[in-house]
Amino acid sequence: MASTNKSCANNTGFSLLELLTVLSILLILISISLPPLGYLVSSSRSDVAIQKIFRLYNFARSEAVTRNQSVYFCGSNSGLICEKKWHKFALIFIDIDKNKRPSTNEIIRLESIALTQGYVESRVAFGLNYTLISGQGTAKYLGSMVYCSEKKEPSLYRRLTWNRTGRPYLGTDQDHDSIIEGTNGEALDC
């Protein structure tokens, strides 16, 4: 007589309890990793913003040397005037009429920056809202441009500074506390 006892040994499916357990573990792991991922995204935005400004500063310097003529570099919210706090445009222009404002025929480049998570603050000597690069590539005024995250998190702030020769460089974290220092050696602030 044949055996009627059937074995369930070939069942390869998951029970509902096993599936819920695995999903619970995955949700816990995802919730633990989300804050660091959010910080990485914000940090990347800060890096991209300051790198774009760095490239535009170098472009302005190159244009000054190529033209053998002083070139202004600044930021703007309207695209029409230089401003200390800005998040929309970078302006590169020559100043034929000597009014320190770009006219249509003086603009070399008007670049959209479109910062949605922060702004840039121009910190140039004498409270100027622009920097002036000579035809030899040197900077007439010392200063920096600081990217400030709207999250008010100092580790997301970035700085572009230039020296008297006009050479730009990015701010660094000398004391390894994840906050970039200003020219005075203190933590960068906005």
CB 157 within 8 A of CB 165: no
Kind of pairing between the strands at 158-162 and 71-76:
unpaired
Half-sphere CA count of 75, side-chain side, radius 13 A: 24
pLDDT of residue 15: 84
Q: What is the pTM of this model?
A: 0.80
The DSSP H or E segment spanning 130 is strand 130-133
Q: How far apart are CA 161 and CA 146, in angstroms?
A: 9
Q: In this structure, are residues 180 and 159 in contact, taking their beta carbons and an 8 Å threshold?
A: yes
| Each residue's pLDDT tens digit, 107-139 | 999 999 888 889 999 999 999 999 999 999 999
Check residue 171 and give its pLDDT.
92
pLDDT digits (tens, 9 = 90+) for 16-56: 888 888 888 888 877 776 667 677 888 888 999 999 999 99
Spatial neighbors of 4 by CB under 8 A, at least 6 apart, are none
pLDDT at 7 (0 to 100): 52
| Residue 131 three-state SS | strand
User: Does the pLDDT of residue 166 top 90, yes or no?
Assistant: yes
Query: Mean pLDDT of all residues in the chain?
Result: 89
Tokens found for residue 41: 């995204």
Q: What are the beta bridge partners of residue 177?
A: none
> Residue 9 pLDDT more than 90?
no
pLDDT for 16 equals 83
Domain 44-170: homologous superfamily in CATH:
minor pseudopilin epsh domain (3.55.40.10)
pLDDT of residue 156: 93
Per-residue pLDDT at 4:
53
Q: Tell me the C-alpha distance between 101 and 93, whole Å.
A: 8
